[in-house]
Amino acid sequence: MMRLGVLASGSGSNLQAILDACAHRSIPAQVAVVISNVAGARALSRAEEAGVPALLLPHGAHPSRDAYDTEMVSLLRSHRVDLVCLAGFMRLLTPVLLSAFQNRILNIHPSLLPAWPGMHAVRHALKGGARVSGCTVHIVDEGTDTGPIVIQAAVPVLDGDTEESLAARILAQEHRIYPRAIALFAQGRVEIDGRRVRIKGAAADAARTFSSPELND
Ligand code: GRF
């Protein structure tokens, strides 16, 4: 069973989707540890409620980003983590962490990358007048939201949308695709070829393509 380390700074709704998918055995994985840089983050109490070790690693207490990530690597290793899942973890990773878990760190981002990497992706989609946005699970590399794309879900932008309403519609799709992407890793079906990801198995294309119900007339 693949052991997951989930890093989260905030509410942890994606963490919850992952915990639920593991509990319902829809993915052959278990959350081995949850680590947050924010004291009191809802993500930590969600982990505790699920009986998963919940650790606080505050960033203020370390002299450098490298020192912080060195400590993170040792915590992840001590919990025998195979795959690291960033779920609203609001810190950039250094090569210390990236090289320790090369091609084994996933992130979820609220846009159809490569459009709108970085902060405020939902705001940028609205301001840019996009009619479709969505979310992406990708492998983390040294850039910001630039790594190979595993799964995406498309979400329509509706005429009356605000940043909040669009973000909520996207978040609902994040909760669907993040557990699916983890399942593909846990099943050993992910093949990385440069910037492209290939999914082994007959239903591969169907498993990678989603659209929200509003798009299906
Ligand atoms: C999500 O919007 C995700 O796309 C972004 O951070 C947010 C995390 O939300 N990376 P939650 O903490 O999982 O509720």
Q: What is the pLDDT of residues 93-118, one digit of tens each?
A: 999 999 999 999 999 999 999 999 99
Q: How far is CA 53 from CA 6, 31, 87, in A?
A: 11, 9, 16
Residues 75 and 147 in one domain: no
Residues 119 and 215 in one domain: yes
Instruction: Determine contact, residues 37/57, Cβ cutoff 8 Å.
Output: yes
Residues 93 and 178 in one domain: no
Q: State pLDDT tens for residues 125-176.
A: 999 999 999 999 999 999 999 999 999 999 999 999 999 999 999 999 999 9
- Of all helices (H) and strands (E), which one includes residue 67? helix 65-78
Choosing from 24, 79, 109, 175, the catalytic residue is 109
Number of domains comprising the chain: 2
Residues 147 and 197 in one domain: yes
- CB-count exposure of residue 55 (10 Å: 0-12, 13-18, 19+): middle
Q: Which amino acid does the sequence have at 143? A: G
Question: 35 CB less than 6 Å from ligand 1?
Answer: no
Pocket perturbation via mutation, ligand 1, pick of 11, 15, 166, 174 by most ligand atoms within 8 A of CB: 174
pLDDT at 205 exceeding the cut of 80: no
Pocket perturbation via mutation, ligand 1, pick of 7, 13, 14 by most ligand atoms within 8 A of CB: 14
Q: Which of 70, 102, 134 is the last residue of a domain?
A: 102
Residues 15 and 96 in one domain: yes
Question: 175 CB less than 6 Å from ligand 1?
Answer: no
Residues 87 and 20 in one domain: yes
Question: 138 CB less than 6 Å from ligand 1?
Answer: no
Residues 90 and 114 in one domain: no
Residues 121 and 55 in one domain: no
Residues 3 and 86 in one domain: yes
Task: Give the pLDDT confidence score for residue 60 in this predicted structure.
Answer: 87
Residues 133 and 98 in one domain: no
Strand partners, 196: 193
Residues 142 and 216 in one domain: yes
Q: Average pLDDT in the 2-19 region?
A: 98
Residue 165 belongs to domain spanning = 108-217
pLDDT at 211 exceeding the cut of 80: no
Question: 88 CB less than 6 Å from ligand 1?
Answer: yes
